[in-house]
Amino acid sequence: MSFTGKVHKVGAHIDTDAIIPARFLVTTDTRKLGEACMEGLEPGWVKRVHEGDIIVADRNFGCGSSREHAPLAIIGAGIRAVVGHSFARIFYRNAFNMGLMLLEVGDEVKKINDGDTLEISPEHGIIRDLDNGAEIRIPPLSPMMQTLIDKGGMVNYVREQLKMRGEAE
Amino acid sequence: MAMTLAQKILQMHTDEEVREPGQIVECSLSGVLANDITGPLAIKSFRAMGARKVFDKDRVFLVMDHYTPQKDIASANQVIVSRNFAKEMGITHYYEGGCAGVEHALLPEKGLVKPGDLVIGADSHTCTYGGIGAFSTGLGSTDIACGMVLGRLWFKVPATIRVNIEGDMPRWIRGKDLILRLIGEIGVDGALYRALEFGGSALKDVDIEGRLCMANMAIEAGGKCGLFPSDDLTAEYCRAHGTSDPMRLSADEGAEYERVVTMNVTGMEPVVACPHLPENTRSVSELSDVTVDQVVIGSCTNGRISDMRDAAEVLRGRKVAKGVRCIVIPATPAVWRQAMDEGLFEVFSDAGCVISTPTCGPCLGGYMGVLGDGERCISTSNRNFRGRMGSLESELYLASPCVAAASAVTGVITGPDAL
């Protein structure tokens, strides 16, 4: 299922302290974390975001700590997906496990302009910049990753699996 | 398709066809590990999932090793969470007190990991088991909880960097020197997300404990895992540790590597990593003016019996320099017992060392040898980040047990040849 959203571009090596500084780690509430999303990059950054928007990042997005609060803060801010040149390994896992979609596009990330509207079709692996007409093709999101996104993360996914087997509380 | 070791092992654990790096595959797990620090977080996620039982009570490993015996009230309370969970779930491999050892030394020693296994652990040094040809990697608490519940997890197939070790192994060169040299060459992010795969004609001269030490530090180059083939040495080790028929494993001829690094060890000098990153490496002889206040010989990197023997060989008939604390920490109860039976404790005691019970302790600045302001230590552990062993003003050097022991004798960083 494709969706559209407005682009907010960020640079390379955006680390987990930029995404959610340690002083905000006093909660695990997604919405509260979202209010401080990118606070370590630029105070008040999140004010520009509307529900369904998309972050477009340069290389190695999410490097640093293994805190699961980082993808939660992005989800809490209302971001639908992050399109990036590349992602740090632990952040990549944590994002999908928390239910945040990541799309790795390499150098083609340069084709996307800040403030444009993107149309993303994850199951076909197509990303379109509707303002400048650029099209990026990547391998389709794997079924496992799509399932994690659909279920809202790993905890819900496992809970559902257990319910189907009649093993959950 | 010709496969790397990483691809081969993942293929053994999934019904999907493993094709290329970057592909996501869902795999069945051979084992899931957590320790006293990370266990409670994973257990919290486990509860949130609504799970009532673990996928296999014989394949979830809980090792209370970081602060054992419990160093304070907080660490004691943490252990209670894991202990109660282990009781409730009927977990077979729960280790505490006199049964506990440093997790990554304990699991291979007890035969709980074998060649071809796929193991995840809530500890970044879970990659250690690559030393016996197991694909193992460190993950976050939600992943570990999922593993505990389902016994399955998704993996991204990593690209592989092949490392060939060639030449004649010098007398005092150990696995530790080789892995430090590699990290110095490729950097702390040189293997980011990738698998390291070791091979070459000199591999036969690196014993299994040396290989476990090298695989242990794959993460210090950013690697997902560090894999060795399962050969004659592996088979011998595994049989001695309870695996009757260990699988032979090697990469396919013609497997595709992202990069090939060759290290010629002929004439090589012992290597030391200087503060504050494992990639800041020097030859030991370049550091002969660096004084030390403390020496630590132990950890999941170098706390095994061969490490104890190396340290004892250097310390035999010698004394620890005045003003230096030398702390020896056998990694597991079995290593401790073996060291005692071989008379190594007599050597350490005569030299003036502190002999500790098994624990991670000082490696992460926990206890049992924490550094104060301005103090300097040479340690056989794996990380020398600022403040890792205590004060932010302290300095940490990393080396093999041979170099650490020789440095304890002189009070300055010294190679065993120079004694």
pLDDT of A25 > 90? The answer is: no
- What is the CB neighbour count within 10 angstroms for residue A102? 23
Nearest alpha carbon to residue B136 among B61, B68, B49, B44 = B61
**Closest residue to B26, CB basis, from A68, A144, A159:** A144
Does A25 contact chain B (CB < 8 Å)? no
CA B383 – CA B242 distance, rounded (Å)? 31
Are B181 and B281 in contact by the 8 Å Cβ rule? The answer is: yes
Which residue range forms the structural domain that includes residue A118?
3-141
Residue B234 DSSP SS3: helix
**What's the confidence (pLDDT) of residue A17?**
86
Residue A153: inside a domain, yes or no? no
Residue A69: inside a domain, yes or no? yes
> How many domains is chain A partitioned into structurally?
1
Q: Which of A118-122, A138-142, B50-54, B394-398 has the lowest mean pLDDT?
A: A138-142
Q: B51 to chain A nearest CA, in Å?
A: 5
Hey, CA dihedral for B207, B208, B209, B215, is it positive or negative?
positive
Average pLDDT of every residue of chain A: 93
CATH of the domain at A93: 3.20.19.10
Residue A161: inside a domain, yes or no? no
Chain A residue numbers touching B149 (CB-CB < 8 A):
158, 162
Chain B residue closest in CA terms to A162 = B51
Residue A164: inside a domain, yes or no? no
Q: Chain B residues with CB-CB distance to A under 8 A?
A: 22-24, 26, 45, 48-53, 139-143, 145-146, 149-150, 154, 156, 192-193, 222, 224
**What's the confidence (pLDDT) of residue A169?**
66
Q: Do B146 and A158 touch (CB under 8 A)?
A: yes
Residue A169: inside a domain, yes or no? no
Q: Which CATH architecture has domain B5-263?
A: 2-Layer Sandwich (3.30)
- CA B166 vs CA B184, B204, B258, B263, B265: distances in Å: 17, 10, 20, 6, 6
Residue A60: inside a domain, yes or no? yes
Span B68-109, pLDDT tens digits: 999 999 999 999 999 999 999 999 999 999 999 999 999 999
- Tokens 């905000």 found at: A24
Cβ pairs A/B, distance under 8 A: 70
The reply to whether B271-418 shares the fold of B5-263 is yes
pLDDT of A47 > 90? The answer is: yes
Span B101-151, pLDDT tens digits: 999 999 999 999 999 999 999 999 999 999 999 999 999 889 999 999 999
Residue A166 half-sphere exposure toward CB, CA atoms < 13 A: 0
Domain boundaries, chain B: 5-263, 271-418
Chain A residue numbers touching B193 (CB-CB < 8 A):
89
* Chain B contact probe: residue of A90, A91, A141, A158 with most B CBs at under 10 A: A158
What fold, for B271-418?
Aconitase; domain 3 (3.30.499)
CA B59 – CA A123 distance, rounded (Å)? 35
pLDDT band at residue B193, thresholds of 50, 70 and 90? confident
ipTM value, please give it: 0.82
Q: Do A155 and B142 touch (CB under 8 A)?
A: yes
